[in-house]
Amino acid sequence: MVTKVAEVVGVEEELLTHTKIKVKGKKESDARYRARLVRAGSNLEDGDWGSLSEGAQEWVNAGVEAINEKDPIADFPDIGKVSTPRKKEEKKEEKKVEKKAEAPATNGAPKKKRGAGAYYRRVVILNPDWGKEQLLKAVEDEGFTLSAGSAECMYYEIHGVLKILEELGMLTKPKKKSE
C-alpha cells in the first residue's frame, strides 16, 4: 500500500514539496503565506494535482473559495497552525473570526455573512422582471442576510448595467415562452 505524503508530513509540507515554493519567511504573515501556498497549489499541472492527497486538494479548493469570498484561509488541517509562530494580532483576529462563526443561527438556519451580494446580483440578472421585495426574499430564503438599502442600490445598479448592455447590443432579452 502506498502512503500519501500528507499522511506522513502534513498538508503544508506536501504542498511545499509539490509546488516548490519557499517556506514562510520571518516577516511574512500567516495569512499571506497560506494565500501564496493556495495559489501555487491551484496552479499545479494536472499530473501534480492528481498526486496530492485528498486532504491537500480539499484544503487548496477551500482556500481558493475563501480567497474568492475574501474570507480568511483555514489553518492546515493536520497541525492546526503554520510551522512558524504567529503574531499576537493574527491570533486575536483568528479568535474574532472563530467567535463570529460560532454565532447563533437565526430562523433555524445559519447566517451566511459573505456572498449575499453576489447571490443577489445573480438572482437579479436571472430574474430581471422580479420586484425588489421578491428578490430580497429569495436571498433571505437561501440563508443570506442583506440590508434593504444594499439590495435597493444593487437592484438599480444591475438594472442600469443590463439596460446599457441591451442598448449596445451586447445583451438580448430572452423571448417569453408564449411568443
The pLDDT of 122-143, averaged and rounded, is: 88
Q: Nearest CA to 145 among 115, 103, 108, 102?
A: 115
Judge whether 112 and 144 are in contact, CB under 8 Å: yes
The average pLDDT across 7-31 equals 80
Look at the pTM and tell me if it is higher than 0.75: no
Decide if pLDDT at 1 tops 60. Answer: no
Alpha helices in the chain (DSSP H): 5-9, 11-19, 30-42, 46-50, 54-68, 88-101, 116-126, 132-141, 148-167
The lowest-confidence range among 25-34, 76-85, 169-178 is: 76-85
Instruction: Give me the pLDDT at residue 119, please.
Output: 85
> Would the pLDDT of 100 be above 60?
no
Q: Taking 60 as the threshold, does the pLDDT of residue 60 lie above it? A: yes
The distance of Cα 31 from the centroid of its chain, to the nearest Å, equals 14
Please return the burial class of 29, using the count of CB atoms within 10 Å of its CB with bins 0-12, 13-18 and 19+.
Answer: middle
* Residue 98: pLDDT over 80: no
**Average pLDDT of the segment spanning 166-174:** 80
- Contact in structure between 67 and 73 (CB atoms under 8 Å): yes
Q: Kindly report, residue by residue over 103-115, the tens digit of the pLDDT.
A: 444 444 454 445 7
Task: Spell out the domain ranges in the chain.
Answer: 5-101, 103-179
